[in-house]
Amino acid sequence: MIRKPRLFTPGPTPLLPEAQAALAAPALHHRTAAFRGVLDRVRDTLKYFFGTTNEVVFFTSSGTGAMEAAIANFFSPGDRVLVGTAGKFGERWVELANAYGLQVEKVESPYGKALSADKIKETLQQLGDLRGVFFQATESSTGVRHDTESIARITRQIRPDALVVVDAITGLGTSELDIDEWELDVVIGGSQKALMVPPGLSFVSVSDRAWQRAKTAKLPRYYFDLQKEREAARKHDTAFTPATSLLVGLVVALDRIHQLGRANLIRNAQVLADCTRHAVQALDLKLFAEVPADALTAVCAPSGISSNDIEKQMNEQFGAVVANGQGSMKGKIFRIAHLGYYDFTDMVGLIAALELVLTSLGYSCNLGAGVRAAQNRFIELVASVREPASR
């Protein structure tokens, strides 16, 4: 049997074919007129993708590089910050802030649960001076969506000077984030998620408040220096050699997103996520996330079956790469991505494969029940399927 390799991991995600073709083009030198055109276009369309009038800076690094930049550029040694954490990526904020010598306060929720805006409010009221609040828009390790708007508004109300720093690496392109209206000071993205290009580029949107802070922030920085990149951007340039091929691919992907419309990209993930949730529940599987994100669906492995085996069999039998749980969740959950270049056929094919794999692992499931639930939900959500005559 032919098996097509397909990524269903919440990063890296499948490449947009036009972007993939652009990645293979002959190299451009970065200090040429042709490449400056690419840079200008990337910078404009990134603002559209983020949905902000704030400047969006990029770095050649995976997403974590931009997270590091968000600490190194806006804070000084010993600054007190609050991290909302409920998974592996929240823990990354804690580790990064500790590595830079910040005084870290935490508001935690257990894996699978969302951050409590009330708990964050209480903590903000109790703590004195606080320079920043960090959290994820969506926690990719657990599939949970946090309430970015509430957390941001509460922070602004109680601590007007604190910077709101959001890791939206899987939140962008999968959920509505109103960066300007909610006053999100620093928002982070990465190329290998909803942007449909390979890993290697990270993005940071920076508010005026945050640029002001950067002027007095004393933590050391060199490569990940946002002000240096901003100055270079004004000259249609970059501070260092950028990942030219990735940027050439990214322009194509961003143009495609612009054509499609940001809202439609988000809706695509929402519909596929919604259908997937209906499908797995119809198979009597439990969702791991209390408040599920649309970027990905985290599913609990049925009792007696390890998600290690589900992951392995999905790949071996069908070429479908789903993500296992991370850390203590390994073996217990598996994760299915919806962000970026996915369509109905990908989703429903995955569910059909999952039904067969679960059956082969001894789980008694009603073949077709998941597929049928996904189909029915799709009809409810996407009315045009029912009304071909109106075309």
Ligand X SMILES: *Cc1c(COP(=O)(O)O)cnc(C)c1O
Contact criterion met (CB below 8 Å) for 107 and 120: yes
CB 165 within 8 A of CB 137: no
Q: What is the DSSP string of 62-131?
A: -HHHHHHHHHHTT--TT-EEEEEESSHHHHHHHHHHHHTT-EEEEEE--TTSPPPHHHHHHHHHH-SS--
Answer yes or no whether residue 276 interacts with ligand X by CB under 6 A: no
Cβ closest to ligand X, residue 62 vs residue 307? 62
Contact between 340 and ligand X by CB under 6 A: the answer reads no
Binding part of the chain for ligand X, among 60-68, 71-79, 94-102, 235-243 by CB under 6 A, reads 60-68
What's the one-letter identity of residue 84?
A: G
Q: Is 59 in the site for ligand X (CB under 6 A)?
A: no
Distance CA 50, CA 360 (A): 43
CA angle 300, 306, 309 (to 5 degrees): 115
How big is the site for ligand X, counted in residues (CB under 6 A)? Answer: 13
Q: Is 323:140 a contact under the CB 8 Å cutoff?
A: no
Q: Work out which of 7, 22, 63, 350 binds ligand X, going by CB under 6 A.
A: 63
Judged by CB under 6 A, the stretch of 58-66, 99-107, 148-156, 172-180 that binds ligand X is 58-66
> Residue 80: how many CB atoms within 10 A of its CB?
17
Residue 297 sits in the site that holds ligand X (CB under 6 A): no
35 and 29 Cβ atoms separated by less than 8 Å:
yes
Instruction: Name which of 22 and 70 has its Cβ closer to ligand X.
Output: 70
| For the chain, counts of helices (H) and of strands (E) | 13, 14
Rounded Cα distance, 359 and 27, in Å: 48
- Name the residue nearer to ligand X (CB basis): 202 or 375: 202
Shortest reach from residue 82's CB to ligand X, in Å: 18
Give the nearest residue (CB) to ligand X. 63
Of 205, 174, 203, 208, nearest to 191 by C-alpha is 203
Using CB under 6 A as the binding rule, the residues of this chain from 357 to 386 that contact ligand X are none
Name the residue nearer to ligand X (CB basis): 85 or 244.
85
Binding mask 199-218 for ligand X (x = CB under 6 A): x-------------------
As beta bridge partners, residue 334 has: 299, 324
User: Does the footprint of ligand X cover residue 91 (CB under 6 A)?
Assistant: no
- Nearer Cβ to ligand X (64/227): 64
Looking from the CA of 33 toward its CB, the CA atoms found within 13 Å total 0
Quick check: 62 binds ligand X (CB under 6 A)?
Answer: yes
Cβ at position 259, least distance to ligand X in Å: 25
Between CA 265 and CA 192, with CA 314 as vertex, the angle to 5 degrees is 35
Instruction: Give the residue, chosen from 64, 227, 306, 308, that forms a contact with ligand X under the rule CB under 6 A.
Output: 64
Confirm or reject binding of residue 13 to ligand X (CB under 6 A): no
* 246/195 Cα distance (integer angstroms): 11
User: In the complex, what is the shortest distance from the CB of residue 338 to ligand X, in angstroms, rounded to a whole number?
Assistant: 13
Q: List beta partners, residue 166.
A: 135, 187
| Residue span 149-168 as binding mask against ligand X, x where in contact by CB under 6 A, dash where not | ------------------x-
Identity of the residue, 310 or 337, whose beta carbon is nearer to ligand X in the bound complex: 337
Q: Of the two residues 190 and 249, which places its CB atom closer to ligand X in the complex?
A: 190
Q: What are phi and psi of 205, to 5 degrees?
A: -95, 140
Rounded to whole angstroms, the Cα distance separating 9 from 137 reads 18
Task: Among 7, 83, 165, 169, indicate the residue that binds ligand X (CB under 6 A).
Answer: 169
The CB-of-389 to ligand X minimum distance in angstroms stands at: 42
Query: Of the ranges 56-64, 126-134, 214-222, 235-243, which one interacts with ligand X (CB under 6 A)?
Result: 56-64
Smaller CB separation from ligand X, 9 or 123 = 9
Give me the least distance between CB of 85 and ligand X, in Å please: 12
Among 50, 59, 89, 100, binds ligand X (CB under 6 A): 89
Note the residues at the interface with ligand X (CB under 6 A).
10-11, 62-64, 89, 136, 140, 167, 169-170, 190, 199
